[in-house]
Structure 1
């Protein structure tokens, strides 16, 4: 039987951590289905969806202390379903991009609108960069979400335009054929 497990890793950044993690999984016959990692400040963070035989997954979980010792990372484990077994209602995939001069609360405002309309965020990433011309810290958020057929696009556009106008946030979103 095939099992699916999500692992999250966090610790001080140093060169080679992603390779050590991938090598650990590969040596045990575990497939990395999907992953995302980045450096935040001086910390490294990564989340990985893996799959493998139930026996191989159980052996890997029992052997995690060796990876913890080798990498000095905090590691958390959560068993999950196969991606195709997740219950999903019909939806249209969308991508949203928001850009603004940075300040607290932008993510909260946008997520509140999406959640208020019953919209699930599938993937989200944010970043703040310093604009070398103006010296301003510029915030950007990119998220992918699932728009249920019952949600009227015009209502969502109006909600997001209102937030954009009130808070000076450039918010754009578009339907995707595939992701």
Structure 2
């Protein structure tokens, strides 16, 4: 029987971490289905959806201390269901892109609007870049979410625009197909 496991890791970055993690999975017959890994500051972080035979997943879990010792990473795992078995409600996928001068509270205010409308954030990424031309730290956010069928997109746009006006953020929302 096929089982699924979400694997997350964080610790000091160094060359070879992704190779060591993937080698650990491969040696146990585990497949990487989907992953996100990144370096932030001097820290490496990753989240990986893996799959394999139930007994191989159990073996991987039982032997995690060897990977922790080899990589120096803090590692956590959680068993999950197959991606196709995820309970979903009828909804439309959207992408929001926001840009502004950087300041605290942008993520919270924008995401609060989504939460109040029972909108699920599927993927979220932020970045602050120094703009040498203007001398400003520029915040950039990309967010993918699904809007339930019973929520009016016009209401979402209006409430997000209100936050954008209040915090001086340029925000665009667009439907996405085949993400």
Normalising by structure 2, report the TM-score. 0.98
Unaligned residue ranges in structure 2 (runs of 5+) = none
Partner of 2:47: 47
Partner of 1:23: 23
Unaligned residue ranges in structure 1 (runs of 5+) = none
Question: Does residue 83 in structure 1 map to residue 119 in structure 2?
Answer: no
Q: Provide the secondary structure at the position in 1 that maps to 2:104.
A: coil
Partner of 1:4: 4
Question: Does residue 142 in structure 1 map to residue 142 in structure 2?
Answer: yes
Alignment map for 1:23-172 (pairs within 5 Å): 23-172=23-172
Q: Provide the secondary structure at the position in 2 that maps to 1:22.
A: helix
Q: Provide the secondary structure at the position in 2 that maps to 1:29.
A: coil
Partner of 1:13: 13
Cα deviation per residue 1:31-83 (whole Å; 9 max; x = unaligned)? 11110011111100000010100000001111111111110000001111111
CA RMSD of aligned residues (A): 0.7
For residue 149 of structure 1, report the CA deviation from its aligned partner: 1.0
Query: Distance in 2 between the 1:136 and 1:16 partners?
Result: 35
Query: Distance in 1 between the 2:167 and 2:32 partners?
Result: 40
Cα deviation per residue 1:107-148 (whole Å; 9 max; x = unaligned)? 001110001111000000111110111111111110100111
Q: Provide the secondary structure at the position in 1 that maps to 2:149.
A: coil
Query: Distance in 2 between the 1:66 and 1:135 partners?
Result: 47
Q: Provide the secondary structure at the position in 2 that maps to 1:172.
A: strand
Runs of 4+ in structure 1 off by over 6 angstroms are none
Q: Provide the secondary structure at the position in 2 that maps to 1:144.
A: strand
Number of aligned residue pairs: give it: 179
